[in-house]
Amino acid sequence: MRLPGVCKACRAALFWNGSRWATPSGQAHKCRRRCGAFMPIPRDRCGRKPGHAGYHRSQYAMANERFAKTGRAA
């Protein structure tokens, strides 16, 4: 049974397949919504989720930090 739904953050159409939220094509949903504040020095938009506390980070900086902590690419 597939139950329809909508992502609260990005408003994407989703389906509950009994164990996880998935896109209509059946892939796991990965929300792409970001803060979006422009940072002039890295010339990029903030990669953090909306409503985050603290300072803005670029997606590149967040990927480097994740790789340093886990040893896996983002």
8-40 pLDDT, tens per residue? Answer: 667 788 888 888 888 888 888 777 777 878 888
- Global pTM? 0.50
Number of domains in the chain: 2
Range of the domain at 50: 34-74
Give dist(CA 33, CA 3) in Å, integer: 23
Residues above pLDDT 90, as percent of the chain? 0
**57 in the same domain as 23:** no
CA-CA distance, 52 to 36, in Å (whole number)?
A: 11
The two beta strands, 44-45 and 13-16, are unpaired
Mark whether 54 and 74 lie in a shared domain: yes
Tell me the Cα Rg of the chain: 15
| H-only helix segments in the chain | 59-70
Is the domain of 21 the same as that of 50?
no
CB 60: neighbour CB atoms within 10 A? 12
